[in-house]
């Protein structure tokens, strides 16, 4: 009984280090940990072996202490560096996800602006100065809609004013009739507040800076305030890399149709285990298609 107790006392510490070293090594290789993590695990295992040699009398106490202490210190330092590396990787992962989300939103915003530019000028903006100036200073048409169509039939006098004929009055008033009467000298009382007008409004205000649902999306995703000038730069590149705008035309029958593609490579892809950079884009040059790469994932 004494011998067993003595053996347990002598070999408990070496056994503890051995189990710890083996566990860390198995964890490192099975979960593809970094080289520093595996190195620290190996050093702890070496410390356990040296400790076994010492208690078994095959290595002097002095040498055991020198080698063991040195190995342990190195192991602790390397293990610290390993955990620091893991923390760095987690931070890169967070930045990657934020970068991709911001890239998606920025390209979606640019696509919205290019659509509005096309509707107004029948072409896409081919450079950043043009599209940024459009976003910040230009206006777009919008319909101001107030009041509703009365739930009644038009009178004979109203019919004569609108159509100038004797067609039968079978149905309730429609939008066209309500609009014509609201603009007329004989505008009835129930159409005094009726309005269907097309007016020009600031593109940036209605689409971005004063659009509640859009602002909520940016706030919810912690993406900061909208900045038209920032759209040209790929996020997390310190304004050194820009999205590339490419434009072309395709011929369908006798018609020539403008096409556009905006693309760029985003950083942080190395943490995803990829060997090549990650391309993100919207649009195609060979067809009239403005779909984004993130919509195809």
Quick one: pLDDT at residue 36?
63
How large is the average pLDDT for residues 195-205? Answer: 88
Q: Give DSSP secondary structure letters for 161-198.
A: HHHSS-----S---HHHHHHHHTSTT--GGGTT-EEEE
- Copy the structure tokens of residue 284: 């195609």
Question: Is the confidence at residue 264, as pLDDT, over 50?
Answer: yes
pLDDT at residue number 61: 66
pLDDT in the model for residue 64 = 62
In the predicted structure, residue 199 carries a pLDDT above the cut 90: no
Which of 2-11, 53-62, 153-162, 191-200 shows the lowest mean pLDDT across its residues? 2-11
Q: What is the mean pLDDT of the chain?
A: 82
Q: What is the pLDDT of residue 97?
A: 83
Q: What is the percent of the chain where pLDDT is above 90?
A: 46
Q: How far apart are CA 86 and CA 72, in angstroms?
A: 21
N- to C-terminal Cα separation, the chain: 67
In 113-254, DSSP assigns E strands to 139-146, 195-202, 244-252
Q: Which helix (H) or strand (E) holds 62?
A: helix 61-121
Banded pLDDT at 272 (limits 50, 70, 90): very low
pLDDT digits (tens, 9 = 90+) for 79-124: 666 565 555 556 667 778 888 889 999 999 999 999 999 999 999 9
Q: Are 142 and 201 in contact (CB under 8 A)?
A: yes
The residue among 112, 109, 42 whose CA lies nearest residue 79 is: 42
Using the predicted structure, report yes or no on whether residue 74 has a pLDDT greater than 90: no
**19 falls in which pLDDT band (50, 70, 90)?**
confident
| Sign, Cα dihedral of 213, 219, 222, 226 | positive
Give residue 179's pLDDT.
Answer: 92
Using CA atoms, how far apart are residues 285 and 126, in angstroms rounded to an integer?
13
- Is pLDDT of 153 > 80? yes
- Is 0.75 surpassed by the pTM of this model? no
Q: How confident is the model at residue 284 (pLDDT cuts 50, 70, 90)?
A: very high
pLDDT band per the 50, 70, 90 thresholds, residue 133: very high
Going from N- to C-terminal start, the domains of the chain cover 2-90, 92-136+227-295, 148-193
Across 33-58, average pLDDT: 70
Q: What residues are paired with 143 via a beta bridge?
A: 198
Q: What is the pLDDT of residue 1?
A: 47
Mean pLDDT of 194-206: 88
Angle in degrees, CA 205, 208, 213, rounded to 5: 115
């Amino acid at each position: 009984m004494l011998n067993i107790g003595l053996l347990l006392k002598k070999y408990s510490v070496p056994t503890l280090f051995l189990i710890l070293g083996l566990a860390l090594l198995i964890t490192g290789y099975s979960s593809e940990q970094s080289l520093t993590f595996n190195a620290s695990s190996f050093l702890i295992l070496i410390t356990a072996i040296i400790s076994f040699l010492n208690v078994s009398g095959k290595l002097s106490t002095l040498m055991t202490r020198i080698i063991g202490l040195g190995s342990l210190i190195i192991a602790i330092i390397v293990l610290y560096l390993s955990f620091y590396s893991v923390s760095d990787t987690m931070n890169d992962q967070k930045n990657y996800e934020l970068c991709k989300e911001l890239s998606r939103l920025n390209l979606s915003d640019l696509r919205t602006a290019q659509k509005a530019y096309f509707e107004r000028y029948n072409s896409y903006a081919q450079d950043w100065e043009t599209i940024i100036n459009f976003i910040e200073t230009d206006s777009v048409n919008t319909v101001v809609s107030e009041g509703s169509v009365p739930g009644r039939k038009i009178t004979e006098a109203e019919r004569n004013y609108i159509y100038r004929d004797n067609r039968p009055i079978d149905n309730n008033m429609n939008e066209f009739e309500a609009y014509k009467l609201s603009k007329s000298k004989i505008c009835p009382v129930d159409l005094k507040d009726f309005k269907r007008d097309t007016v020009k409004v600031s593109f940036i205000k209605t689409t971005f800076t004063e659009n509640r649902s859009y602002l909520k999306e940016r706030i919810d995703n912690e993406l900061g305030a909208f900045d038209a000038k920032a759209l040209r730069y790929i996020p997390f590149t310190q304004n050194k890399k820009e999205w590339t705008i490419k434009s072309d035309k395709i011929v369908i029958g006798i018609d020539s149709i403008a096409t556009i593609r905006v693309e760029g490579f985003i950083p942080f892809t190395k943490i995803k285990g990829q060997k090549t950079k990650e391309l993100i884009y919207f649009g195609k040059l060979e067809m009239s298609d403005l779909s984004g790469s993130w919509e195809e994932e």
